[in-house]
Structure 1
Amino acid sequence: MSEFKRIAPEQAHALRAQGAVVVDIRDPQTYALNHIAGSTHLDNHSVSEFIRNADLDAPTVVVCYHGNSSQSAAAYLISQGFSDVYSMDGGFELWRTTYPSETAQGTHE
């Protein structure tokens, strides 16, 4: 079984530019206020459907607040059959200071 990889926002940015799926596991209200443009919000209610519909081999970057919770979520996705999963160190907080113009508001992208 493979393991997820921890990456910096710069690496996540490059993967995103190449079409990687970015999933945000922060709470829905915080996600609606600001998130990585093009990301998908995941929570306990939506994760099963996401897994059912996902390309398990597509690069997937997991983002949380500061890069801690995303590690558990990335490990969970690996356990569900995903093969190319990344946890972004520093979380959304570091992303928004690194790429402030590449964030969005609202609940849907």
Structure 2
Amino acid sequence: MSEFQRISPQQAQALRQQGAVVVDIRDPQSYAAGHISGSRHLDNHSLHDFITRADLDAPLIVACYHGNSSQGAAAYLVGQGFSQVYSLDGGFELWRATYPADTAQSSEE
């Protein structure tokens, strides 16, 4: 895959069950208040470390608030060598509405 793909929460859930990594690029306070269970928070401070340690061939799902910012981040990650990058359409807001049981708060993890 030379570009990222936009996927629905249902497609993202299927990829998660196959071991895809989920990264959340929202601000730290929003991530702490609620995020996709098992996701990693990524910001400008943790991005370099994440890229250097990540499996570039593993499926990677990028989530933001509503699915807009994640597209830019997904394009950037493709440029960094990731081969399977997906942008979550509808972002965390649609995920939370679709899979409320698969959300977590930082204090829970």
TM-score, normalised by the number of residues in structure 2 = 0.97
Q: Which residue of 2 aligns with 1:68?
A: 68
- What do you get for the CA RMSD once the two structures are aligned? 1.2
- For residues 90 and 106 of structure 2, what CA distance do their matches in structure 1 show? 22
Report the number of matched residues: 109
Aligned to 2:106, the other structure's residue is in SS state: coil
Give the Cα separation in 1 of the matches to 2:47 and 2:62.
12
SS of corresponding position for 2:57? coil
Who is 1:86 aligned against? Answer: 86
Q: Which runs of 5+ in 1 are unaligned?
A: none
Q: Distance in 2 between matches of 1:102 and 1:6?
A: 20
Q: Structure 2: where are the runs of 5+ without partners?
A: none
For 2:96 and 2:23, the matched residues in 1 are separated by 15
> Match for 2:64: what amino acid?
C
Any runs of at least 4 consecutive aligned residues in structure 1 with deviations exceeding 6 A, and if so which? none
Between the aligned partners of 2:10 and 2:98, the Cα distance in structure 1 is: 8
Identity %: 73
CA distance in 1, matches of 2:15, 2:27: 24
Shift of 1:107: 6.3
What CA deviation, in whole Å up to 9, does each residue of 1:71-105 have, x standing for no partner? 00000000000000000100000000000000000
Instruction: Give distance in 1, aligned partners of 2:94 and 2:43.
Output: 21
Residue number in structure 1 paired with 2:15? 15
Within-5 A mapping of 1:28-47:
28-47=28-47
CA distance in 2, matches of 1:89, 1:37: 17
SS at match of 1:62: strand
Q: What SS does structure 2 have at the residue aligned with 1:70?
A: helix
Using the alignment, how far apart are the partners of 2:23 and 2:93 within structure 1?
15
Task: Indicate the residue corresponding to 2:77 in structure 1.
Answer: 77
**CA displacement at 1:108 relative to structure 2:** 7.8
